[in-house]
């Protein structure tokens, strides 16, 4: 590390001189990353080979020709290990495994000649099997699922998951290549199980056939799927993972998931996965906790290995086999299932020993570089990003971090941790705060603009007005906050209400404000594009195991007699605006020209467009002077007040109605235009020289 410190000049320290006093910390985390990378690749040569060989050589593998099953499992505390299951009537002593080096246990189960003349595997496809383990402390033995299990099925009676051999005769073959990387991600966050309008758990194939066309129609170019890794409790939204290599069987089979991803790729959609490497379910009987009888096999021992807020286990990122397990996991999801990247959940928990529990972050750099920082966790995230981007250079990695760690989305060699994007979590928090705590007349335009532009230099962020977090039971979506109980009775097309009219108008404005100013990408949670009227509440004891609130009522947006379609159609045209006039990229021109809290006006330039918002609750403005950077007349290309969006059509724009330019400077811009801005409306203007022919 000392030689690195002398020779390595991190560019991030030049971009932000306030980081210079913490230079040793950057060398410390980079040194830890390099140390582990060198250790892991000592034999294989590079990180991709290490992850590939780990995935191919460990866990469960079947030779297609001989049908021999080779099985390897890391159980360092075990004294005896056996394979048992349906194939041998659960005989716990028939198939002992051999102990190898470093706590790895191995066995080969040879294929056999069947009466049909074909070679069959000893464990048939779709049959159950487990490990039977004895330890120095437990000579009677106990059952465990393999940690590298590909499929696990839940028992209807005891609700426990049991490993299942997955070896179908017909394996899915991908037909479509990965889409090209886009500079303007418009992400559709979704959950497979609750994507049906029926009160049931939806399937991968139903989602592919029924929901993906809606996503494509809506103008999104990326889907981010939650709850793919197997999890014992449906209501956890997929965040209490029990089986890291297993596809959630609630929604279908591995082949079904591959069909979904291939279908998305056929439409040009990138597919990201919510990956949970920040913690693990404490379940012992169907998870990997205490798999070999200890609490420290994959995790820290004792209290250090417990996440008190989530009642889950914390990985020990400074252990060789843990890194093998997690990096091989990344390799599998990319190579076998063709995911295009990941949204890493709860990155804050990985970055710090305190996991963010009871800690508030003010932005003081000492909060990021101290004894509280888990250097091993930081190094793991660097390794994970290194591997993901080596496997798919066009891939995407996203960090969910509430702390604001500097360099999170900077290239590793420049001093960063290597993510592509971080979630701009302050945007939804601010909108909810405004709706809960402030009257319309007290909204602060300068503060709104500051929240949406307050991001680190060269670090890309994803803006969103609401995600699945705001849709959960106990909270409310923006639509529900705005319209309240009238969202059930006041959304008929011929029904008029001041509250509904306000809600329809502000919902569009808030989304557009964040879309244009909140980051270098945009995210929406499934159903929020049309203001889904109800929260998400998974079946549980407290609601009678009901699926009523664990679904999406697509029919509401499809019904021409209801107003939900206004939100859906506006959301679509908002996405298509960015597709036509790209502005969601790192070096896109961005300039906030005006934040007038008295008039409730915000004006900003993004890309080659001007966004104008009038949040005033009653006042419209005639001939309101707006500064502009461009030397030409302008025309409106998006207007929230159009009738097809549920507005009053007060502007009556058409394709030839250009706003004349004045050579008078205004708001520190060289030119100006005069516009009519009705109350509670937003518009987007395009200078003539950038106007597309079909505008």
Cβ–Cβ under 8 Å, residues 228 and 133: no
Say whether 400 is catalytic. yes
Alpha-carbon distance of 566 to 40, in angstroms, equals 54
Say whether 345 is catalytic. yes
In the DSSP assignment, the letter for residue 248 is P
Q: Where are the beta strands (DSSP E) in 86-178?
A: 98-99, 104-109, 112-113, 119-120, 129-135, 138-144, 151-154, 161-164
C-alpha 118 chain-centroid distance: 45
Residue 109's contacts (CB-CB under 8 Å, 6 or more residues apart) are 68, 69, 70, 71, 83, 95, 121, 122, 123
Q: If residue 74 lies in a helix (H) or strand (E), which one and from where to where? A: strand 69-74
Question: Is 532 strand, coil or helix?
Answer: coil
Q: How far is CA 452 from CA 514, 526, 611, in A?
A: 7, 22, 14
Of the listed 262, 274, 345, 569, which one is catalytic?
Answer: 345
Residue 553's contacts (CB-CB under 8 Å, 6 or more residues apart) are 197, 527, 532, 533, 534
- Side-chain-side CA neighbours of 402 within 13 Å: the count stands at 14
Q: Which of 385, 339, 386 is nearest to 226 (CA)?
A: 339
* Structure-token match 């888990």, residue found: 374
Number of residues that make up the chain: 695
Q: Where are the alpha helices (DSSP H) in 114-250?
A: 204-206, 212-217
Residue 567's contacts (CB-CB under 8 Å, 6 or more residues apart) are 479, 504, 507, 508, 529, 530, 531, 557, 645, 646
Of the listed 256, 286, 292, 400, which one is catalytic?
Answer: 400
Angle between helix 47-57 and 320-335 (nearest 10): 90
Residues with active-site annotation: 345, 400
């Amino acid at each position: 590390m000392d030689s690195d410190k002398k020779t390595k000049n991190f560019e991030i320290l030049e971009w932000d001189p306030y980081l210079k006093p913490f230079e040793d910390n950057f060398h410390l985390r980079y040194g830890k990353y390099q140390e582990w990378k060198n250790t892991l690749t000592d034999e294989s040569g590079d990180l991709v080979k290490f992850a590939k060989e780990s995935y191919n050589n460990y866990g469960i593998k079947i030779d297609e020709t001989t049908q021999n099953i080779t099985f390897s499992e890391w159980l360092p505390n075990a004294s005896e290990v056996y394979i048992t299951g349906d194939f041998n009537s659960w005989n716990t002593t028939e198939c002992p495994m051999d102990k190898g080096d470093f706590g790895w246990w191995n066995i080969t189960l040879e294929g056999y000649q069947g009466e049909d003349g074909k070679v069959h595997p000893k464990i048939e496809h779709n049959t159950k099997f487990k490990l039977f383990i004895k330890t120095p402390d437990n000579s009677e033995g106990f059952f465990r699922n393999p940690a590298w299990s590909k499929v696990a099925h839940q028992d209807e009676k005891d609700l426990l998951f049991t490993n299942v051999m997955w070896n179908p005769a017909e394996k899915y073959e991908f037909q479509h290549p990965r889409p090209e990387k886009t500079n303007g991600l418009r992400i559709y966050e979704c959950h497979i199980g609750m994507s049906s309008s029926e009160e049931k758990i939806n399937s991968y194939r139903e989602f592919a056939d029924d929901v993906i066309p809606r996503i494509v129609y809506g103008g999104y170019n990326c889907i981010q799927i939650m709850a793919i890794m197997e999890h014992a409790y449906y209501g956890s939204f997929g965040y209490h993972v029990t089986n890291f290599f297993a596809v959630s069987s609630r929604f279908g089979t591995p082949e079904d998931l591959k069909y979904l991803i291939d279908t998305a790729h056929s439409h040009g959609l990138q597919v990201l996965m919510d990956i949970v490497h920040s913690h693990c379910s404490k379940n012992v009987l169907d998870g990997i906790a205490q798999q070999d009888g200890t609490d420290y096999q994959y995790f820290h021992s004792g209290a250090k290995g417990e996440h008190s807020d989530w009642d889950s286990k914390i990985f020990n990122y400074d252990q060789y086999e843990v890194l093998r397990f997690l990096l091989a996991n990344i390799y599998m999801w990319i190579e076998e299932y063709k995911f295009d990247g990941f949204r890493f959940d709860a990155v804050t928990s990985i970055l710090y020993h305190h996991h963010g529990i009871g800690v508030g972050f003010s932005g003081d750099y000492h909060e990021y570089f101290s004894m509280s920082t888990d250097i091993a966790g930081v190094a793991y995230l660097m390794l994970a990003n290194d591997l993901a981007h080596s496997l798919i250079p066009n891939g995407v990695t996203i960090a969910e971090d509430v702390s604001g760690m500097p360099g999170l989305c900077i290239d590793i060699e420049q001093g960063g941790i290597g993510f592509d994007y971080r979630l701009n979590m302050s945007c939804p928090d601010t909108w909810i705060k405004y709706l809960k705590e402030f009257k319309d007349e007290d909204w602060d335009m300068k503060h709104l603009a500051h929240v949406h532009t307050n991001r680190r230099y060269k670090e890309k962020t994803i803006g969103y007005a609401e995600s699945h977090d705001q849709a959960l039971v106990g909270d409310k979506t923006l639509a529900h906050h705005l319209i309240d109980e009238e969202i059930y009775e006041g959304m008929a097309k011929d029904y008029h209400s001041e509250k509904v009219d306000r809600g329809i108008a502000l919902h569009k404005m808030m989304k557009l404000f964040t879309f244009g100013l909140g980051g270098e990408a945009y995210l929406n949670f499934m159903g929020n594009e049309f203001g889904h009227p109800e929260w998400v509440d998974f079946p549980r004891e407290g609601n009678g195991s009901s699926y009523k609130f664990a679904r999406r009522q697509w029919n509401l947006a499809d019904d021409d007699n209801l107003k939900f379609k206004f939100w859906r159609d506006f959301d679509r045209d908002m996405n298509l605006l960015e597709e036509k006039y790209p502005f969601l990229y790192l070096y896109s021109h961005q300039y906030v020209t005006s934040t007038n809290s008295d008039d409730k006006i915000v004006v900003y330039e993004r890309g080659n467009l001007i966004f104008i918002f009038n949040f005033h609750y009653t006042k419209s403005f005639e001939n309101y002077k707006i500064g502009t950077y461009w030397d030409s007349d302008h025309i409106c290309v998006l207007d929230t007040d159009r009738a097809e969006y549920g507005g009053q059509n007060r502007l009556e724009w058409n394709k030839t109605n250009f706003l004349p330019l004045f050579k008078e400077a205004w708001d520190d811009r060289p030119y100006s235009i005069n516009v009519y801005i009705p109350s509670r409306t937003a518009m987007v203007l395009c200078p003539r020289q950038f106007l597309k022919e079909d505008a």
